[in-house]
Amino acid sequence: MTGKEAKEIRELYGETQEVFAKRLSRSRKTINSYEKMGNIPEKEVPGYVKLRDALINSDTHDVTIFEQGDRIPFYENFEADGASGHADNIPAYYLDMPEFRGTVSFIINTRCMEKKIVPGSRLFGTKIDWEKHIEFGKIYGIVCNDGRKYLKYIRRHPVSGDLFLLKNENQDYDDMDLPKGEIRSIWLIHGFATKLT
């Protein structure tokens, strides 16, 4: 891949060098030098190809979940809107955590899952096609169409197939019914890490 081709990929999707650099976990200066060079270093080509393919296959071209080897994109907060693909919500940085490869990471600040997950914990999740398959009883991050966000256990609703029953680990919080039509995305939480002070 030539520097000219790399620049064309970036410009085709209206990306600045700074945004492109963050997507590739590189500095803007590095991206600039690649574009001015005749060829992209061979070790960097797979990253460009993955990003190009992700942009091509995205309906909105707002691709922020980009895997670079074992590096995990980390977002400042849970919408998982870092995770939901808004172009202005690029990862703050990347984590070297091979055990969570293929996930995205974000911070959650809620007490509803205490004693299991404390506020400020770093979560690792993947977006699921919840309308096709969901494992009841697992912990999920739920993003609603109106921007509400929840970290809950999802259970089958005892009365209505149009609702999910959301349950908490912390018994000080009430369970709630959530209409399925209000859900924008659901993220399966694979693990979490608590910051040590």
Q: What is the pLDDT of residue 153?
A: 97
pLDDT per 10-residue tile (average), the chain, 197 residues: 78 76 80 81 74 58 43 66 42 72 82 89 88 92 89 96 96 95 92 71
Per the CB < 8 A criterion, the answer to whether 114 and 121 are in contact is no
DSSP sequence for 79-115:
TTHHHHT-TT---SEEEE-GGGTT-EEEEE--STTTT
SS3 category, 30: helix
Domain chopping of the chain, boundaries: 3-95, 104-193
pTM for the model stands at 0.61
- CATH code assigned to 104-193: 2.10.109.10
Per the CB < 8 A criterion, the answer to whether 182 and 163 are in contact is no
Q: What sign results for the dihedral spanned by CA atoms 40, 44, 49, 55?
A: negative
